[in-house]
């Protein structure tokens, strides 16, 4: 089994429950860990045998560019569901979304969830 990590992917989306949060996009930092059941790429060295993590990044960015969320929990759920739909070799995905500036005395708030096939 391979584990693919996308670290500190910064995207912008509408996120928050207050009116002022809904007026403009804000940064969200994503950390994603995908457990890939098939290790064929490690033997073949062929791109067709590998999970296309560029496609995954672009799909996440495309979704969040058009999306609007009240809760970060829903954002994390949508990302986890999206990733599992993109490649059947991904058995499990962990998604963490970090909302910088959400609290006055903290750097950020994050939510992490795991999704299984």
CATH of the domain at 72: 3.30.1130.10
Domain count, the chain: 1
Domain that holds residue 38: 2-116
pLDDT recorded at residue 55: 97
* Nearest-angstrom CA–CA distance, 61 and 6: 13
Q: Model-level pTM greater than 0.85?
A: yes
Q: Is 112 left (phi over 0), alpha (psi -120 to 50) or beta?
A: beta
Round the average pLDDT of the chain to a whole number and report it: 94
Q: pLDDT by residue (tens digit) across 44-90?
A: 999 999 999 999 999 999 999 999 999 999 999 999 999 999 999 99
Q: For residue 11, give the 3-state DSSP assignment.
A: strand
């Amino acid at each position: 089994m391979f584990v693919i990590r996308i670290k500190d992917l910064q995207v912008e989306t509408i996120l928050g429950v207050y009116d002022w949060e809904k007026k403009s996009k804000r940064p969200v930092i994503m950390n994603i860990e995908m457990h890939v059941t098939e290790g064929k790429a490690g033997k073949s060295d062929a791109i067709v045998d590998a999970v296309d993590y560029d496609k995954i990044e672009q799909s996440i960015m495309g979704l969040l560019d058009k999306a609007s969320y009240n809760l970060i929990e829903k954002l994390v759920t949508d990302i986890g569901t999206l990733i599992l739909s993109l490649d059947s070799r991904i058995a499990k995905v962990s998604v963490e979304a970090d909302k910088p500036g959400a609290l006055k005395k903290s750097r950020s708030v994050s939510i992490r969830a795991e999704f299984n096939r």
